[in-house]
């Protein structure tokens, strides 16, 4: 079973993602970047790491881009690399496509999805990343 962190400020999208992922593992939810980092660090501290973080870009307090940057910094500080790096799927509105691409091109995230969230695309992306089998 996977351990998944869904980071999304909108209730409807967050709930939808939780429903999509619930058959595949344990889903935790955060509503901004700060909560995301708190959950991520807790997972590392307790040695119960997340396998996947689904990260929205536009969020209050701390956005997805900043959170992603911090996640990768924390992993580096802790000597986490290669296969142990958490897989990150960026999820955002079409208007943010340029931002998503920036992260994707830098190799900071493994995949990106645009809203509206399509459950088949979400699952297909996880299959492609080797997180779930067909």
CB of 82 to Mg ion, least distance (A): 30
63 touches Mg ion by CB under 5 A: no
* β-strand pairing of 2-7 with 52-56: parallel
Contact with Mg ion (CB under 5 A) among 4, 28, 31, 56? 56
- Decide if 109 contacts 88 (C-beta within 8 A): yes
Contact with Mg ion (CB under 5 A) among 5, 6, 7, 9? 9
- Decide if 117 contacts 20 (C-beta within 8 A): yes
- Decide if 2 contacts 51 (C-beta within 8 A): yes
Part in contact with Mg ion (CB under 5 A); list of ranges 2-10, 45-53, 82-90, 107-115: 2-10
Residues that bind Mg ion (CB under 5 A): 9, 56, 58-59
């Amino acid at each position: 079973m996977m351990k998944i962190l869904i980071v999304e400020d909108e209730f409807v999208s967050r709930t939808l993602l939780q429903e999509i992922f619930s058959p595949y593992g344990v889903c935790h939810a955060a509503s901004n970047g700060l909560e995301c980092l708190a959950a991520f660090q807790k997972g590392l501290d307790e040695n119960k790491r997340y396998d996947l973080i689904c990260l929205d870009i536009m969020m209050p307090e701390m956005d997805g881009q900043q959170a992603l940057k911090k996640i990768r910094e924390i992993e580096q500080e802790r000597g986490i690399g290669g296969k142990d790096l958490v897989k990150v799927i960026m999820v955002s509105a079409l208007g943010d496509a340029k931002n998503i691409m920036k992260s994707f091109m830098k190799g900071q995230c493994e995949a990106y999805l645009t809203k509206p969230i399509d459950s088949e695309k979400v699952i297909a992306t996880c299959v492609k990343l080797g997180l779930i089998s067909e």
